[in-house]
Chains A and B, each alone.
Chain A
Amino acid sequence: MRKLPLFAFLLVSAYARLGAAEGPGGPRYVVLIELAGGNDGLNTVVPFRDPAYRQLRPGLALPEETLQPLGERAGELAFHPALAPLLPSWRAGDMAVVCGVGYAGQNRSHFRSIDIWETASDAKQVLRAGWLARVLAEPLPGCAEPRNPFLADGVVLGETRSGPLRGSARVLAMRDTAAFLSQSAGAEANGGAPSGADGEAWLEARRVVGAAAAFLRDHPVPPPSGYPDTAIGRQLAAAAELMRRGLPVPFIKTTHRGFDTHVRQAAEHGRLLAELAEAVAAFRRELRDAGLWDRTLALTYSEFGRRAAENGSEGTDHGAASVLMAWGGRVRGGVHGSYPSLTALDNGDLVFAVDYREVWAGALRFAFPADFAEAAARSLGAGRAGLALTE
């Protein structure tokens, strides 16, 4: 058995000292699930009793008898039928739905809007670095502990695009643990990295690879089981495996792609939501069995919702505010916020009530101790009240 490199050991112990091991002893994980393309929130969590719903969407409105009502806590909302595998989580109270998430000056370009979400910028700002990369790079005021005690800032699964972690050299990307371990053999530094900022970033990236490989080899776990054989299923299986091994990283990013449903939305959207629901249900089952569910916050996000009315191609065009969903043992289950009005639209779009940065602030509060999280949330421009996503 290989000895953990000193570097990794120091990191792990510093991590524990930071107190990130709150709650049942161990690090907490935020698992981001990007719904890439612009998820139609209006057909995901449906205000089905509002007559405007069927007026706006004569073709696309979901048949009432197929919907899954959310129950008394959730007023007059129901789930898309494809989300049925998530009903146990909803009923157990560890699933949250946040309504009306968006931002002022909605940009309807995929590229710009996902950049806005992932850099925590205002609509008119252009920031290059991801919000997580920024939060984890700067020593934050009022925080006495080493600024970055994690082995890496995050792991990106499924795609190599780092999103909120862009600009950090301390980001791992992998298909799964097995692929990473086979590729990381021979990643030891071979000398010759030059001086200067770029050279140091390169060496740091190498250290992260080495430390991660050593850690993973030293912490084997049984392979994932019970996951659907879909892209998102494989990514959540890989995420859970890293978490079961206890890899000391705070954030894991996954991507579920295909939500840009301009044409013939019904079947495609249903398929995507079914895949999401089955994958998250399997993820929840495995992590509950492993005793990790209380240390998990899984969270969807998407660059925008879709327009309230259907278009002429049995689909929907780029919109604005949408719902997002969160799961985890400490999640305050239920509906957060009120559903945007379907009659008081803004140029055909649902009006946002929750700035998306409050959601990021909620994730930070879950992952990090209070003073670190508050300082980080403020640096993103999130308000103090924030969204109480978790207990």
Chain B
Amino acid sequence: MKPKVVALSLVFIGFSAGKGAALVPAEAKRLLDRAGLGSSAAEEAAYAALDREAAVDRLLAEAGYAGPAWSFPWLSEPPFPKTSGPEAQRERRRTEKDRFTEFTEAWVRRLCRSPDALGERLALFWHNYFTSSFDAVKSAAALVRQDELIRRRSLGNFREFLVDMTVDPAMMVYLDTAENSRTKPNENFARELLELFSLGEGNYGEADIREAARALAGLRLDEAGAWRLEPRRADDGVKTIFGKTGRFGRVELIDLVLEQDAAARYLPSRLFREFVGRAPQPAELAPLAAAFRAGGWEIRPLVRAILLSEAFWDAADPPRVRSPAELLAATVRLAGAEPPGDKLAADLRRLEQPLGDPISVKGWPEGAEWINADAVLARTRLLEQWARKLKLPPERRRVVLSDSWQFK
């Protein structure tokens, strides 16, 4: 080959593979397990040719909208139609349940098949962060809309995400936002907004919750899932929140929340736990928090920083148990086959991770909380079923049924 061509080829390879050392195969696998949902041998090989930065950037490049829009025919119907009479209500419940099943089974298929595994991981994270449950909301269409909001905002701007979430129909039903009025306050959403969605426990007072509820009072939801602010139910009086006084409404409330120191730390801390598997040390959290605030609350750079952190790549960090969704998706991706059946959302429910239907506002278990004697039995049993339906060859079957497969 001519020397110039060789030199140009080397430059080209150097540019696309990244400037640093290429990953070893174990690192590629670990990246795809911990930042994604497992991998096939081919994917591992593709990532192993890259260095850390290029590998993370490739994952992020795929992570866009996290899938095409959902296209269920019933999505255009009003999410909260009025029904009266026990027979009509029973019929409505059956319809919603069937639709919810259709949605969650389609969601599981995406977990197993989507090329955007990081996006799917983030969607799961956000559903576990901004929780709402089908059991309480009772509308499949509302939950799909919330999922669409999550996927749209997942790597975008966190301030916009919070503002949008205050009027998301499923969330409004789940945390009683539409019940909250000036004369009959309901603090449910205000409390979770501060405690679980933005600041974390200990970083606000009871008075802040009360006044935040006032700022959120008067929102109403119609059958079509559209929100409006009803002046007679709203509280336009003067409020004092976090020491500031004014006639704050919901958008001003979000900005007041984000002014608090804790706001820059809370989401980074939770994302760090999601990917690294432990709480961050103060020295690890501080730069993430500073950059998050300085950068105007953009989520994508925050995720990138975490995925490029020393903590994430620390080879000495012990293996961590997979969540049920990760276990299923990793198994299917290893097989490179169609998902094993159409009752997989039900399988995940059996393993204590019901998609779209967490048992409490705190969401699904985390980390070692997944592990108990029932998990051991139920995961083993389901893996055997999945392995059979995936027609795994003996060697792969042995891999997925070994204890080490439970970990990433």
Whether B195 and A206, one on each chain, are in contact in the complex, defined by CB atoms closer than 8 angstroms, is no
A-side interface size class? 35 or more
> Which residues in A have their C-beta under 8 angstroms from that of B359?
111, 161
Judge whether B318 and A209 touch: CB under 8 Å.
no
Evaluate contact between B319 and A184: CB separation under 8 angstroms. Answer: no
CB-based contact A194/B318 at 8 Å: yes
Q: How far is the CA of A193 from the CA of B368 in the complex (A)?
A: 14
With beta carbons under 8 angstroms apart, the residue of A111, A162, A173, A192 that contacts B361 is A111
Cα A195 to Cα B369 in complex, Å, equals: 17
Shortest C-beta distance, A336 to chain B (Å), equals 30
Closest residue of chain A to B196 (Cβ to Cβ) is A126
Chain B contact-residue range equals 35 or more
Given contacts A184-B377, A192-B403, A194-B407, contact A202 B360 (CB under 8 A): no
Least CB distance from A211 to B in Å reads 10
Interface-facing stretch out of A58-66, A164-172, A279-287, A294-302: A164-172
Cα-based distance from A160 to B365 in the complex (angstroms): 13
**Chain B residue, CB-CB nearest to A193:** B403
- The residue from B318, B362, B371 contacting A126, defined by CB atoms under 8 A apart: B362
- Once A128-B369, A167-B369, A192-B402 are accepted as A-B contacts, the answer to whether A187 and B377 lie under 8 Å apart by CB is yes
Which residues of chain B are near A162, meaning CB under 8 Å? 372
A208 adjacent to B318 (CB under 8 Å): no
Q: Are A201 and B402 in contact (CB under 8 A)?
A: no
| Neighbour of B381 across the interface among A183, A192, A197, A205, CB < 8 A | A183
**Does B380 sit at the interface, judged by CB under 8 A?**
yes
Q: Given A156-B374, A198-B319 in contact, is the A186-B368 Cβ separation under 8 Å?
A: no
- The yes or no answer to A112 lying at the interface (CB within 8 A) is yes
Contact of A166 among B320, B321, B369, B381 (CB under 8 A): B369
Chain A residues, Cβ within 8 Å of B403: 189-194, 199, 202-203, 206
| Contact between chains at A173 and B373 (CB < 8 Å) | yes
A101: chain B residues within 8 A (beta carbon): none
B406 touching A202, Cβ below 8 Å: yes
Shortest distance from the beta carbon of A157 to any chain B beta carbon, whole Å: 11
Nearest Cβ distance between residue A309 and chain B, in whole angstroms?
A: 15
A125 interface residue, CB < 8 Å from B?
A: yes
**B401 on interface, CB distance cutoff 8 Å:** yes
B290 on interface, CB distance cutoff 8 Å? no
When distances are taken between beta carbons in the complex, the residues of chain B under 8 Å from A195 are: 318-319
A367 at the interface (CB under 8 A from B): no
A251 → chain B closest CB, angstroms:
14
Cβ-neighbour of B319 out of A109, A183, A194, A206 (below 8 A): A194
Q: How far is the CB of A281 from chain B (nearest CB, A)?
A: 29
Q: Is B368 within 8 A of A201, CB to CB? A: yes
Chain A residues 172 to 191 lying within 8 A of chain B, measured CB to CB, are: 172-174, 183-184, 186-187, 189-191
A222 within 8 A of B: no
The reply to whether A208 and B404 form a contact with Cβ atoms under 8 Å apart is: no
Q: Is B404 touching A194 in the complex (CB atoms < 8 A)? A: yes
Chain A residues contacting B206 (CB-CB under 8 Å) are 124
Pick the residue among A128, A174, A183 that contacts B362 (CB under 8 A). A128
Segment 94-152 of A: residues with Cβ below 8 Å from B: 109, 111-112, 114-115, 124-126, 128, 152
Q: Which residues of B contact A202 (CB under 8 A)?
A: 321, 371, 376, 403, 406-407
Q: Does A212 make an interface contact (CB < 8 A)?
A: yes
Q: Digit string of B359-389 for contact with A (CB within 8 Å is 1, else 0)?
A: 1111001111101111111101100000000
Going nearest first, the 8 A-B pairs with the smallest beta carbon separation are A196-B318, A173-B374, A111-B360, A192-B404, A193-B403, A192-B402, A194-B319, A192-B403
Q: Apart from A171-B372, A202-B321, list 10 A-B contacts with CB within 8 A.
A: A128-B362, A173-B372, A183-B381, A191-B403, A196-B319, A199-B319, A205-B373, A206-B373, A206-B403, A209-B373
Return 10 A-B CB contacts under 8 Å, by A number: A109-B361, A111-B360, A128-B362, A169-B368, A169-B372, A170-B372, A173-B372, A192-B402, A195-B319, A202-B407
B interface residues with partner A (beta carbon < 8 Å): 188, 195, 201, 206, 318-321, 352, 359-362, 365-369, 371-378, 380-381, 401-407
The interface of chain A, by Cβ under 8 A from chain B, is: 109, 111-112, 114-115, 124-126, 128, 152, 156, 160-162, 166-174, 183-184, 186-187, 189-199, 201-203, 205-206, 208-209, 212
